[in-house]
Amino acid sequence: MSDEAARLLGRPLSEVNLIVLHLGNGASATAVRGGRSVDTSMGLTPLEGLVMGTRSGDVDPALHAHLNRQLGWSVEDVDGILNRESGLKGLSGHNDFREVDALRRSGDPAAGLAFDVFCHRIRKYVGAYYAVLGTVDAVVFTAGVGEHAAAMRAASLSGLERLGIAVDPQLNDAGNEAGHDGAFTISPDGSEVAVLVVPTNEEWEIARQAMDVVHGRVR
């Protein structure tokens, strides 16, 4: 994502700061300074960070003890629920973001809440990673939800105009309507911070890094 974002910005990767939002059934945010990850929302396990399909994301560390005292749940019970029965599924009953969004648009209140919580957590991490980096050249959306959910992208970055982050509604909607296979920009012309949608290509990156190792190239 970082390489492609730098290419789209027309600048060397070593000179750009990015906030990369990988949003799918699993989700994470990463602060990238000059091509190096300096912070990521995932911690010891994938459970930390953003709200995901079935994972809760950030919770109070005392939650396990509280649920044990109040409900008699074991550590294994709580761990299973936080990983497999929480997130979008826990809030709305569905872990597929497409189903959640469709229900939200039909007026389902639980789906509306799940959508709002999902976007709120993204916005919170964008603000936090802006502070970590000091300056940001682009926010990058990627993975299944990031690449295809225009309403989510707009809602997640709403209210960040003072930070130079904005989404152009026409570019945002048109990108998905056009069925883009490649990357596209959804921020207004002249924005201080570009907002990009970049398709995930993990297999290509793995192959490229493997070739670097074979040929002794250090990145």
The per-residue pLDDT for range 64-78, each reduced to its tens digit, is 999 999 999 999 999
Domain-located, residue 82: yes
Question: Into how many domains does the chain fold?
Answer: 1
Give the CATH number of the domain where residue 118 resides.
3.30.420.40
Domain-located, residue 219: no
Domain-located, residue 10: yes
- In this prediction, residue 174 has a pLDDT band, given cuts at 50, 70 and 90, of confident
Structure pTM? 0.90
120 vs 19: CA distance, rounded Å: 16
Domain-located, residue 138: yes
Q: For residue 183, what are the domain limits?
A: 2-214
What is the total residue count of the chain?
219
pLDDT 10s digits, 121-143: 999 999 999 999 999 999 999 99
| Across 145-165, average pLDDT | 96
Q: CA end-to-end span of the chain, whole Å?
A: 15
- In this prediction, residue 169 has a pLDDT band, given cuts at 50, 70 and 90, of very high
